Amino acid sequence: MTFPKHALLALLVSVTPYTGGAQDNAGDTVTMLNGDIYVGRLLANTLSLGTGMGELEIPVAQVHSINIDHDTQGAHIYTHAGEQLEGQLTNGEIQISRLQDPSLPLSVGDIDNIRLSRPAQPEQPGVPSAWLEPTTGDRLRVEPRFEQLELQSADRQGQYELAQLHHIDTSLHGFEDELLTQFTLVNGTMIQGSLTTASLPLSSPYRADLELPVEILSRLSLVPRKVPKDDLFRHSLRALGEGPQMIRLPGGTYLRGDYQGDGDDDEQPLS
């Protein structure tokens, strides 16, 4: 993702030069390109980040660090939850304050990174049940807003419930850069084809109405739901004591082989 080089943000900070020693736990650290380090306090409650998925509103309490990309004037934001978000900060200004010193305006072009010192916030109820990895390199928690998806393959068209899906992967395929989607089901079956929808409706902690264009989807990983206790079991081994924990799977069938018709004769599904 690229951004105009003239799109600079003014960061208003009230700072004092850092002279070494233990960092104030209540302070956020701004490191400049020239090596200067300033300690202040980020006053904004949220950061607005323009991305290929739309504008995200990221609570500062969730942010671990911010790196500035000086080739694009964009920002890489890292959260305590392990997310990585890339885009352009759209806040008109960000204020970092100190009690002693007057505010000093700094251009984003002079800043290398910002490290926030506040502790991670505990998870709230309703934790998203999937991880999204778009082609932009981001990684964030999301909640699907769909109950099923339809996949069109060479010889059939099938609908798959959300509970059946473990991974959804999308990539360009062939000389014509055809967009190919692969479903990996919870039972291990892999099915390839084309999604019949142009976008996936999702929500995230940073945007409730996220509409992800399929062409920028790399992977959507569905977090397995908690396994019922009755489906967990172990067997006793004759010589080694109790065996590994096992999970009871429901019976069923799956199709194995190249059912799209692109493979060799010995790669076709068995009849």
Q: What is the pLDDT of residue 268?
A: 72
* Burial label, 52 (beta-carbon count in 10 A; 0-12, 13-18, 19+): middle
The tokens for 144 are 């699907």
- 24: pLDDT strictly greater than 50: no
* Burial label, 37 (beta-carbon count in 10 A; 0-12, 13-18, 19+): middle
- Summarised one tens digit per residue, pLDDT across range 103-130 is 656 666 778 899 988 766 555 444 458 9
Lowest mean pLDDT among 87-91, 139-143, 164-168: 87-91
Better-scored residue on pLDDT, 22 or 193: 193
Lowest mean pLDDT among 64-78, 118-132, 216-230, 241-255: 118-132
Q: What is the pLDDT of residue 56?
A: 93
CA R_g for the chain: 24
- What is the C-alpha to C-alpha distance for residues 99 and 239, in angstroms, rounded to an integer? 69
Contact 100, 106 (CB under 8 A): no
The tokens for 89 are 């900060």
DSSP class of 229 = G
- Summarised one tens digit per residue, pLDDT across range 205-217 is 999 999 999 999 9
- 167: pLDDT strictly greater than 60: yes
The tokens for 268 are 């076709």
**Beta pairing partners, 220:** 132, 168
Other C-beta atoms lying within 10 Å of the C-beta of residue 77? 25
The tokens for 192 are 């390839």
- What is the C-alpha to C-alpha distance for residues 38 and 106, in angstroms, rounded to an integer? 11
- What is the C-alpha to C-alpha distance for residues 10 and 16, in angstroms, rounded to an integer? 18
Q: What is the pLDDT of residue 41?
A: 80
- Summarised one tens digit per residue, pLDDT across range 41-54 is 877 788 899 988 88
Q: What is the 3-state secondary structure (H, E, C) of 6-71?
A: CCCCEEEEECCECCCCCCCCCCEEEEECCCCEEEECECCCEEEEEECCEEEEEEHHHEEEEEEECC
* Identity of residue 240: L
Residue 83: enclosing H or E segment and its boundaries?
none
Mean pLDDT of 90-110: 66
Q: What is the pLDDT of residue 207?
A: 93
- Residue keyed to tokens 């998203």: 128
Better-scored residue on pLDDT, 230 or 149: 149
